[in-house]
């Protein structure tokens, strides 16, 4: 399945880049998040592709959920964010991604993250080693294995959201030894950890499962973890939550191995 998902991500990315190069309109959804033609057109490509690749596996996709199209609960399903980092897309800084993940019994077992403007793709899962590669003319060049590294004695290399800083994050960072802080958009933050280029990604802002699942799968494959503030492993397929909507994540900390914060 991984080869098909890689091809599908690249196809969706090509559609996104067509819109990226044009004059596009921006709409605001009821949850106050922006959406463009790139989101809807990329999601249509992904949904059509998944229907051929794995017709029996339900798909929870961001724009479909926003439109009220939500499949019944299932132990095995896809999570799709056709364009993660809409603010980065709109500002044209290139830090947006296509995210596709496969979930089994609450665990992200396979994930693909593609940054079409950067020409870079990452993938990995429970039975798939974490890897990254350049994408050239719509094709994947030689891939490279990736893995997390333990935090060095100088302190934590922290990566955080370019668009969603919070007072809670500031308070957290004051309590730990930070040797470097890098801002990045979308699921690229998970990929930086998976490549060993950062140690911590603390998230004290709202995210949805489709924002995190693909990057989470890759980070786990690379040896990292994603845990909630009480130390529990982040789970997927969350519905009927008393304090939030379906598929909403709690605050979490993504971290490299050997990391106790």
CA distances from 231 to 7, 8, 76, 103 (A): 35, 34, 24, 20
Is 195 annotated to bind a ligand? Reply is no
Is 81 annotated to bind a ligand? Reply is yes
Is 211 annotated to bind a ligand? Reply is yes
Is 173 annotated to bind a ligand? Reply is no
**Residue 19 CB neighbour total at 10 angstroms:** 19
- Please report, in angstroms and rounded to a whole number, the separation of the first and last CA atoms in the chain: 35
Structure tokens at 237: 């397929």
Do residues 250 and 220 touch, judged by C-beta distance below 8 A?
Answer: no
Among residues 174, 207, 201, which one has the least CA distance to residue 255?
A: 201
Is 39 annotated to bind a ligand? Reply is no
Cα-Cα-Cα-Cα torsion 214, 215, 217, 219, nearest 10 degrees, comes to 170
SS3 of the chain: helix, strand, coil, percent, to 5: 30, 30, 40
Structure tokens at 137: 């003319």
SS (H, E, C) 164-183: CCCHHHHHHHHCCCEEEEEE
Binding site residue list = 62, 81, 83-84, 211
Binding site members for substrate = 62, 211
Binding-site sequence positions for Mg(2+): 62, 81, 83-84, 211
């Amino acid at each position: 399945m991984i080869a098909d998902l890689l091809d599908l991500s690249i196809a969706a990315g090509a559609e996104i880049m067509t819109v990226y190069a044009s004059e596009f309109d921006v709409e605001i959804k009821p949850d106050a998040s922006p959406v463009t033609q790139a989101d809807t057109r990329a999601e249509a490509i992904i949904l059509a592709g998944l229907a051929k690749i794995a017709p029996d596996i339900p798909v929870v996709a961001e724009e479909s959920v926003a439109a009220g199209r939500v499949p019944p609960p299932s132990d095995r399903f896809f999570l799709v964010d056709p364009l993660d980092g809409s603010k980065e897309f709109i500002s044209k800084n290139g830090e947006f991604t296509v995210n596709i993940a496969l979930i089994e019994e609450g665990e992200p077992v396979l994930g693909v993250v593609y940054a079409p403007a950067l020409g870079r793709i990452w993938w990995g899962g429970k039975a798939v080693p974490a890897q990254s590669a350049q994408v050239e003319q719509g094709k994947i060049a030689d891939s490279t294995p990736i893995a997390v590294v333990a935090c060095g004695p100088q302190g934590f290399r922290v990566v955080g959201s370019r668009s969603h800083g919070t007072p809670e994050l500031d308070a957290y960072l004051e309590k730990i030894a930070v040797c470097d802080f890098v801002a990045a958009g979308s699921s690229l933050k998970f990929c930086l950890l998976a490549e060993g280029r950062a140690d911590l990604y603390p998230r004290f802002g709202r995210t949805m499962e489709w924002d995190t699942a693909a990057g989470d799968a890759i980070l786990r494959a690379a040896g990292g973890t994603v845990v909630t503030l009480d130390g529990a492993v982040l789970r997927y397929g969350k519905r009927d939550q008393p304090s939030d909507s379906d598929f909403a994540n709690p605050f979490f900390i993504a971290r490299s191995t050997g990391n106790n914060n």
